[in-house]
Structure 1
Amino acid sequence: MAIRTKLGALLAGAALALASGAALAADYTLVISSWAPPTHNINARMWPKFTEMVEEATGGRVTTELKLGLADAPAQMDLIMDGAADVSIIFHGYQPGRFVTTKLIELPGYVGTSEAASVAYWRAYDTYLKQADEHRGVKVVAMHAHGGAQLMSAEPVTELAQAAGMKVRIPGGVAADVGAALGMVGIQVPAPKVYETLASKAADGVVMPIDSRVGFKLTEVAQNMYMLPGGLYRGSFAFIMNEDTFASLPEDIRTALEEKVFGEPISRAIGAIWEEGDAEAIAATLATPGNAIIDATPQDAATFEQVAATVRDKVIAEVAATGVDAQAAYDMIKAEMAAN
């Protein structure tokens, strides 16, 4: 368990003279492990927002300390279970077979913002998906999803048919299903490795959320973005916490976190940050010489909807096999997003 108490911090001596005032004033410091680049919105905005909400909810008794590079992205859940850090963010698609129900939010065809998607996702998780107990061993703090991912490449893609045969970095989960349906040759590398993968020409393109154009500097190596309405998929993420860490906190702090931060409040806040990142990345793309956004034709959008329908049927059947009411969960997400 990595949580630090005020007493432990004081015993550390002069080394803590460089620590922030908030950390010194707090009774408890939660150690956050993150795998994204320092400037990515995950680290630049999401964790600071989480920290702000935690400090406000607990009257400053709990704060955080962000650490980068403790482990690769796919290893974060095991790292939290082992107690090497207290809190982390996981991308469910990096661990094929470990998560199935989380694929519901990844499906193409949802209409709505990332904030609406993240709120709907949390509600569906709390009502249906958590019954599958796929996050056993950790405490789920938030469930959230980025906006629709798009195909980005150095060479322009002007029609959907060009995707067939392209070597494309695709994450796991629904993204892999969609890529296979479109005839892409999938290459799986973690997001932090995407820039070098494209720069070295090991891949022709990448399917990622729009905000990655800024967060992972894709305007430099994937200058063209082919835009399908709603995107090819939405990525599924969770904020998770070590169970022993949470249990070790005083009851009043646990209650404050559960009521004011964990669940829907932080899921909504993170979703809004994903949405802001997409808007900023579109603006950056349009402002960067040599970059272009190519909108899919109505004919290509209709063709992709047929692909999406097939993928949806497949995923709903997979989720249903876990014992969860997959159709009800899907219908809930769709309705909640349409209402927000």
Structure 2
Amino acid sequence: MRVTKIASMTTAALLMFSTYAVQAAPEKTIKISTWGSPNHGINKVVWPTWGEWVEEATEGRVTVKVEYDLAPPQTQIDVVTDGIGEVTWIYHGHKAGRFKLTQLPEIPTFSDYASSELISQAYWRTYEAYLKKGREHRGVEVLALSVNGPGQLITKGPVSSLDDIKGKKLRVGGGVISDIAKDMKVTPVFTPTTKVYESISQGVVDGTYLPYESLASFRLAEVADNTTVYPGGIFRGSFAIVMNRDTLSGLSKADQEAIRSVSGEKLSRLFGKMWDDMDNVGYEAGIANGHTFTPATPEMIADLKKSTEPLVNKWYKSAKQRKIDGEAAYNYFYKELEQGL
């Protein structure tokens, strides 16, 4: 009798465990395609945090899985459009012919007044109010937008004037910095960020335009000795986190809304804060490696300001081509920045 009772209790426990396991198992695991090293902030901070948000918001029905090296950085949006990966992060400059509206937050201000977190918030709000209508992200769902920290001039040796870099081979990544590099009269070399360390160490280029974070995340402090620092940076790079639309629409409406609730402005701010924090890490890595941070001279700043003034009107023209009120969008963006300070 006692054996029968124990057997019954064991059977009941197994049934309860089995039922719990079925309920706990995720209905969907989203495949995230990523690039950059495992130590990059996107991989150490953004994906794990967003993954936790998604799992909590969907009550465990949706989880994420990060996969590396599914494709080169410049083809990541195609990876998601084609469904090879379901979520990724893209640098808009890799598809400069396609993305023009995204150059708005890249235009230099030569002012340190805003963090990447606040700029990313203003960027997302401007996208929702204006830029979304330009349909540059057709084929994918935009989950977040961000800009990295102030892009600076990172070189092997010191730069005391713009004459020091005329004709020099400098790596550029696309976007607004491509126009700025031309004005600085350098020889632009287009190569993915993941190849910059190799390009500098082998003498293929004399330097690059990137933020402080690259000194650590891409180990540039090991191969470059100097960063010429401009207030607010020479540019800001524009990024997005995008999702395959079929993947999103394949989820229940409740889970679609749950994912959107932990994306958008919330994810954009996380993305931006990651850049801020990574810049601090990169600066410390530079100091530890004996890297020199040289302030740009007033003459260098004045020369660059003059050459970048036409970028705003150029952006207005791009906006008009996409049937966007460029001046209204521009003013809205900077108003949002001021309110966030």
Q: TM-score normalised to the size of structure 1?
A: 0.89
Aligned positions of 1:203-218 closer than 5 A: 203-218=205-220
The answer to whether the Cα contact below 8 Å between 1:57 and 1:257 also exists between their aligned partners in 2 is yes
The equivalent of 2:89 in structure 1 is: 89
- The amino acid that maps onto 1:163 is I
The equivalent of 1:37 in structure 2 is: 37
Using the alignment, how far apart are the partners of 1:320 and 1:277 within structure 2? 35
**TM superposition shift of 1:61:** 2.1
**TM superposition shift of 1:159:** 2.4
Q: Given the alignment, which residue of 237, 247, 250 partners 1:248?
A: 250
Question: How many residue pairs align between the two structures?
Answer: 316
The equivalent of 2:56 in structure 1 is: 56
The answer to whether the Cα contact below 8 Å between 1:168 and 1:187 also exists between their aligned partners in 2 is yes
With 54-63 and 85-94 compared, the bigger mean Cα shift is at: 54-63
The answer to whether the Cα contact below 8 Å between 1:28 and 1:63 also exists between their aligned partners in 2 is yes
Residue 210 of structure 1 aligns to a residue whose secondary structure is: coil
**TM superposition shift of 1:256:** 1.4
The equivalent of 1:233 in structure 2 is: 235
**TM superposition shift of 1:30:** 0.5
Aligned positions of 1:164-179 closer than 5 A: 164-179=166-181
- The amino acid that maps onto 1:226 is T
Q: Which runs of 5+ in 1 are unaligned?
A: 1-20
1:188 equivalent to 2:197? Answer no
Using the alignment, how far apart are the partners of 1:326 and 1:306 within structure 2? 21
Q: TM-score normalised to the size of structure 2?
A: 0.89
Quick one: structure 1 residues 131 and 27, their matched pair in 2 at CA, closer, same or farther if it must change by over 3 Å? same
Extract structure 1 runs of 4+ deviating beyond 3 A: none
Q: Which runs of 5+ in 2 are unaligned?
A: 1-20
The equivalent of 2:201 in structure 1 is: 199
- The amino acid that maps onto 2:333 is I
The equivalent of 1:257 in structure 2 is: 259
With 212-221 and 302-311 compared, the bigger mean Cα shift is at: 302-311
**Identical aligned residues as a percent:** 37
The answer to whether the Cα contact below 8 Å between 1:142 and 1:262 also exists between their aligned partners in 2 is yes
**TM superposition shift of 1:205:** 0.5
Using the alignment, how far apart are the partners of 1:44 and 1:241 within structure 2? 19
Deviations 1:52-106 (A, max 9, x none): 2212222222111100010111111111111111101111100121111111111
Using the alignment, how far apart are the partners of 2:307 and 2:163 within structure 1? 12
**TM superposition shift of 1:168:** 0.4
The answer to whether the Cα contact below 8 Å between 2:87 and 2:243 also exists between their aligned partners in 1 is yes
Using the alignment, how far apart are the partners of 2:258 and 2:59 within structure 1? 10
- Give RMSD over aligned pairs: 1.5
The equivalent of 2:12 in structure 1 is: none
Using the alignment, how far apart are the partners of 2:168 and 2:335 within structure 1? 35
Aligned positions of 1:108-127 closer than 5 A: 108-109=108-109, 111-127=113-129
1:283 equivalent to 2:284? Answer yes
